[in-house]
Structure 1
Amino acid sequence: MSWRPRLVALDIDGTLTPVGSNDISPAVKAAITRATEHGALIVLCTGRSLVGVSAVAAQLPVTFCVCSNGAVWWDPALAEVTKRVTFDPGPTIKTLRALLPGSVFAVEQTGVGSLHLGEFLPGDLWGVTTPVTFDEMSVPTPRLVMRWLDHTPAELSFAVRELELPGIEWSVDHTEAWLTAVPLDVTKGSALEEISASHGIRAEDALAIGDGSNDVEMLRWAGLGVAMGQAPANVHAAADEVGPTVLEDGAAQVLNRYFP
């Protein structure tokens, strides 16, 4: 095979692991390890906060971690955050609270956990969780998440179909009634563009694999963007091809084609 990616960008939930899990199959671990042995840089690109990434990154030979949909960058070798972009979540929370009764919110405290307004479901939030008032939530943060309790992902998507949230980038999950917001012009794709350039790697030499709406920019950016089989239609449409599902170790099957 003539083409082999120099950089591999991998989503976590629904790509490397079942959603919300830290369990990576032996086949996926082996495939990622082989990619590094062939000289590829491995970049984890996730909507998870840094706290939520740590247990996954510790299992893999990772070059870099793009957390919070691109708002927080973590260098495992240096063991430090190398970039963190923030916004004021107050206006977004105010708009969503009015539109979606019963919604609960959390803002990321990078490397620590979350401040939350309302009670999330068990396992929703990583790290230390601290209940606060609305005024205490309005602090600069790289990532705001919202769950609409007792509603489905389809109901949330329908409710926000015409919503305008100025000054931020936001996406809705396809497996939970969950919305994630990060600073304007921050995406997995924009982060990868900057990181790859700093390593002298072109987008054409990158492979990206993901399954969510927050992966669309990453899949479009990469020379080869592969959507997981169980991803929704809009993610399939953004990708160059559709691979097997996460339950079939789809990421491993894709990587094995290029890193035998």
Structure 2
Amino acid sequence: MTWRPRLVALDIDGTLTPVGSNHIAPAVKAAITRATEHGAVVVLCTGRSLIGTTPIAAQLPASFAICSNGAVWWDPALSEVTKRTTFDPGPTIKALQALLPDTVFAVEQTGVGNLSLGRFLPGDLWGVTTETTFDEIAATPTPRLVMRWLDHTPAELSFAVRELDLPGVEWSVDHTEAWLTAVPLNVSKGSALEELRQELGISADDTLAIGDGGNDVEMLRWAALGIAMGQAPATVQAVADEVTGTVLEDGAVQALSRFFPA
């Protein structure tokens, strides 16, 4: 009998959509719909904030959305947050400012937008962004802190933080922008999915994950079958069990159609 996953975890940016876009190709929508018709639980698992995730969830028959790299859980059927884990961002911002003075920061206000320290580029952040002071940001527990290093490349940022120690948080660097994301300690896409898997009573052997970024590494390792997108960095592809096509080639469709054919 052909193996078919019962829990399917899907990254959004670079997996279901081009990075930063809310456009999902019809073939991708059809493949995800087939997965649910075959009885799979589909979970959107993304670094996006909740307000950036809801336009994607509205287009798909997903059962759950795990946002902010695991820190915010959202039930699409109930339209409510079911779990939210936060941390105090002040010490992390201070440590990053000491290393990289010309950076801007934002902390997530779940379902609303962000408080920012400095000005981001247009389209960088989802929802309403309010510029404020360090003191206000430091006093705002948040599930997600983001930092952009303006006028620098992802490779430059990765090199600059290669020996960085940020106690009390989990953090990752994006491979498409000079962008760092921090979330509470011991929170990741992988840890959130494992908790959800146990709650649903699904075997660890019946899990599939597809992703493309550094924040997907724990998720790909967690899954019984972890599939990296074709444009994923070599470090991400190395931890995956398989590599599919790129997002522009609808690689997620190629992967899902093996298990959930038309």
| Fold shared, TM-score > 0.5 on shorter chain | yes
Q: Between the two proteins, what is the percent identity of the paired residues?
A: 80
| Aligned-partner Cα distance in 1 for 2:133–2:229 | 39
1:138-153 to 2 correspondences below 5 Å: 138=138, 139-153=140-154
Task: State the partner residue of 2:58.
Answer: 58
Task: State the partner residue of 1:23.
Answer: 23
Tell me the SS of whatever aligns to 1:42.
strand
In the TM superposition, what is the alpha-carbon distance from 1:203 to its structure 2 partner? 2.1
Q: What is the identity, as a one-letter code, of the residue corresponding to 2:59?
A: Q
Tell me the SS of whatever aligns to 1:258.
coil
Q: What is the identity, as a one-letter code, of the residue corresponding to 1:45?
A: C
Task: State the partner residue of 2:90.
Answer: 90
Task: State the partner residue of 1:76.
Answer: 76
Task: State the partner residue of 2:181.
Answer: 180
Matched, 1:14 2:14: yes
Matched, 1:192 2:193: yes
Matched, 1:203 2:204: yes
Q: What is the identity, as a one-letter code, of the residue corresponding to 1:157?
A: S
| Aligned-partner Cα distance in 2 for 1:100–1:24 | 35
Task: Report Cα offsets for 1:51-81 as digits up to 9, x if no partner.
Answer: 0001000000010000000000000111110
1:144-163 to 2 correspondences below 5 Å: 144-163=145-164
In the TM superposition, what is the alpha-carbon distance from 1:2 to its structure 2 partner? 1.6
In the TM superposition, what is the alpha-carbon distance from 1:47 to its structure 2 partner? 0.3
Task: State the partner residue of 2:112.
Answer: 112
| Aligned-partner Cα distance in 2 for 1:227–1:68 | 20
| Aligned-partner Cα distance in 1 for 2:97–2:204 | 39
Task: State the partner residue of 1:258.
Answer: 259
| Aligned-partner Cα distance in 1 for 2:234–2:72 | 28
Q: How many residues align?
A: 260
| Aligned-partner Cα distance in 2 for 1:111–1:12 | 18
In the TM superposition, what is the alpha-carbon distance from 1:196 to its structure 2 partner? 1.0
| Aligned-partner Cα distance in 2 for 1:79–1:56 | 13
Tell me the SS of whatever aligns to 1:251.
helix
| Aligned-partner Cα distance in 1 for 2:78–2:259 | 29
Q: What is the identity, as a one-letter code, of the residue corresponding to 2:172?
A: S
In the TM superposition, what is the alpha-carbon distance from 1:204 to its structure 2 partner? 1.4
| Aligned-partner Cα distance in 1 for 2:149–2:73 | 28
| Aligned-partner Cα distance in 1 for 2:122–2:207 | 36
Task: Report Cα offsets for 1:146-182 as digits up to 9, x if no partner.
Answer: 0000000000000000000000000000000000000
| Aligned-partner Cα distance in 2 for 1:118–1:153 | 19
| Aligned-partner Cα distance in 1 for 2:70–2:117 | 24
Superposition TM-score, scaled by structure 2 size: 0.98
Tell me the SS of whatever aligns to 1:259.
coil
Detail structure 1 runs of 4+ shifted over 6 Å in the superposition.
none
Task: Report Cα offsets for 1:108-132 as digits up to 9, x if no partner.
Answer: 0000000000000000000011000
